[in-house]
């Protein structure tokens, strides 16, 4: 089963070479790497050309697009593999992931969504946390990432290309939460399998679209709006259950905060009492 790895890129000269090497170093004999460039004005295209001359598994186009979603859709149209993967230019795989994923897909019905863990690195190159999205049913994802982690980055999940025939493509007018939107549609029709292994690496780099969105708070707002739109499509009983779980979680967080504040207050009081006794 061939794996089609799609990389959308625009002015990504800083990372495109390492991204290409990441796929090469997987030593997977049944992979194609489709690079969709949005008409870069830096050295991105020149670097791609250098590697396509040596490696026939690399296919690419360079033309203006309507954003990341549009670029990924172009890559999907070009894909010849039965298994699809999205690898953003500044993300990367752990060693031998593609061969491992290929073996697991032999046991899965079509269409399936296969999800692993993802290392999340901060701008200083330090591991922030490991994303472990163990619960991936629709109702679990609709609880939000604070209560139930969702797959944060496509470097850690893979799916049958045929899944797009059932759920459609990425929404071209969506430029931020298109990954989450696709997952919310995918889990409703696909066989979902989670494997507790770390496959992907996601770098939250300063200046990128995603990090800027997180800093402004827009990311959280967009995510909540998207989840609410899907919640409204569910039966009222399920909506109520999700609402209650969220309220219980919020109340627990409030209690934890109050306990922490109380502990800090008592600590200050004890310090003052000890200080006066010493006098």
Rounded Cα gap, residues 83 and 269, in angstroms? 62
Choose one of 231, 249, 267: the last residue of a domain: 231
Q: What is the pLDDT of residue 108?
A: 98
Rounded Cα gap, residues 76 and 81, in angstroms? 10
Q: Are residues 47 and 166 in the same domain?
A: yes
Q: What is the pLDDT of residue 200?
A: 98
Q: Smallest Cα–Cα separation from 41: which of 19, 20, 68, 13?
A: 13
Q: Are residues 35 and 150 in the same domain?
A: yes
* CB count in 10 Å sphere of residue 150: 22
Q: Are residues 38 and 163 in the same domain?
A: yes
Structural domain containing residue 274: 235-279
Beta strands in the chain (DSSP E): 3-9, 31-37, 58-62, 83-86, 92-93, 112-121, 127-131, 157-160, 191-203
Rounded Cα gap, residues 32 and 81, in angstroms? 8
Q: What is the pLDDT of residue 113?
A: 98
Rounded Cα gap, residues 26 and 4, in angstroms? 13
For residue 96 the two structure tokens come to 């031998």
Q: Are residues 239 and 224 in the same domain?
A: no
Q: What is the pLDDT of residue 257?
A: 59
Query: How far from 255 is each of 148, 247, 250, 251, CA to CA, in Å?
Result: 19, 12, 9, 6
Q: Are residues 92 and 170 in the same domain?
A: yes
Q: What is the pLDDT of residue 238?
A: 82
For residue 174 the two structure tokens come to 């969506």
Q: Are residues 180 and 275 in the same domain?
A: no
pLDDT tens for the 279 residues of the chain, in order:
899 999 999 999 999 999 999 999 999 999 999 999 999 999 999 999 999 999 999 999 999 999 999 999 999 999 999 999 999 999 999 999 999 999 999 999 999 999 999 999 998 999 999 999 999 999 999 988 888 899 999 999 999 999 999 999 999 998 889 999 999 999 999 999 999 999 999 998 777 767 676 677 677 788 889 999 998 888 887 888 887 887 776 666 665 655 677 677 667 666 665 566 666
Rounded Cα gap, residues 163 and 168, in angstroms? 8
Rounded Cα gap, residues 85 and 23, in angstroms? 11
Q: Are residues 132 and 26 in the same domain?
A: yes
Query: How far from 206 is each of 11, 100, 181, 234, CA to CA, in Å?
Result: 16, 32, 24, 37
DSSP-based three-state secondary structure for 153 = coil
Q: Are residues 104 and 132 in the same domain?
A: yes
Q: Are residues 74 and 120 in the same domain?
A: yes
| 79, 4 Cβ separation under 8 angstroms | yes
Rounded Cα gap, residues 224 and 144, in angstroms? 7
Q: Are residues 92 and 124 in the same domain?
A: yes
- Domain of 73, CATH number, reads 3.90.550.10
Q: Are residues 272 and 182 in the same domain?
A: no
Q: What is the pLDDT of residue 36?
A: 98
Q: Residue 260: which region, alpha, beta or left (left: phi > 0; alpha: psi -120 to 50)?
A: alpha
Number of domains in the chain: 2
pTM for the full predicted model = 0.84
Q: What is the pLDDT of residue 107?
A: 96
Q: Are residues 82 and 193 in the same domain?
A: yes
Q: What is the pLDDT of residues 50-102, one digit of tens each?
A: 999 999 999 999 999 999 999 999 999 999 999 999 999 999 999 999 999 99
Q: What is the pLDDT of residue 245?
A: 81
């Amino acid at each position: 089963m061939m794996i089609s790895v799609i990389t959308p890129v625009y002015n990504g000269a800083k990372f495109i070479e390492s991204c290409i090497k990441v796929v090469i170093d997987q030593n997977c004999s049944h992979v194609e790497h489709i690079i969709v460039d949005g008409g870069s004005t830096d050295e991105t295209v020149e670097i791609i050309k250098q590697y396509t001359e040596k490696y026939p598994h690399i296919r690419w186009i360079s033309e203006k697009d309507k954003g990341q979603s549009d670029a990924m859709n172009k890559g999907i149209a070009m894909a010849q593999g039965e298994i699809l993967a999205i690898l953003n230019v500044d993300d990367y795989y752990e060693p031998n992931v593609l061969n491992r994923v290929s073996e697991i897909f032999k046991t899965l019905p079509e269409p399936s969504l296969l999800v692993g863990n993802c290392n999340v690195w901060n701008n200083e190159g330090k591991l922030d946390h490991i994303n472990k999205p163990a619960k991936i049913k629709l109702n679990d994802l609709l609880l939000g990432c604070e209560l139930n982690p969702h797959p944060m980055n496509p470097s850690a999940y893979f799916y049958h290309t045929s899944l797009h025939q059932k759920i459609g493509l990425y929404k071209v007018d969506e430029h931020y939460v298109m990954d989450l939107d696709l997952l919310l549609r995918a889990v409703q029709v696909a066989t979902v399998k989670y494997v507790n292994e770390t496959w992907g690496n996601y770098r939250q780099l300063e200046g990128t679209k995603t990090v800027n969105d997180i800093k402004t708070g827009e990311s959280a707002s967009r995510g909540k709006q998207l989840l609410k739109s899907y919640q409204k499509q569910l039966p009222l009983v399920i909506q109520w259950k999700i609402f209650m779980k969220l309220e219980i979680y919020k109340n627990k967080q409030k209690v934890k905060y109050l306990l922490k504040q109380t502990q800090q207050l008592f600590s200050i009081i004890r310090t003052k009492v000890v200080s006066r006794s010493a006098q």
